[in-house]
Amino acid sequence: MTKKRVATERELEHARQAVAAREGVLKSKGTEPQKDTVWRKLDANVRKIDARLRAIGTIEERERDLEARRSGAPEESNESAE
């Protein structure tokens, strides 16, 4: 795991806690979360961070594939290119 992934996962956890706290406040008021602008902003932040984590995962996978090719793993042949 990279430092960037760890920091982003920590940020995601804090964002989810903020959403849960806001939902608790709204529940005590009897308001639906989807109608609250603060909740929508917090939820959008969670979705944004989650998208960043997926992008980090894609980059890590690409780097692992590159490292595997560099370490001498057999390459796939490109016979169809001929």
Q: Mean pLDDT over residues 49-78, rounded? A: 85
Per-residue pLDDT tens digits for 4-46: 999 999 999 999 999 999 999 999 999 998 899 999 999 999 9
Q: What is the pTM assigned to this prediction?
A: 0.76
In angstroms, what CA-CA distances link 49 with 4, 54, 56, 75?
12, 9, 10, 35
With both helix axes pointing from N to C terminus, report the angle between 37-70 and 3-29 in degrees, rounded to the nearest 10. 160
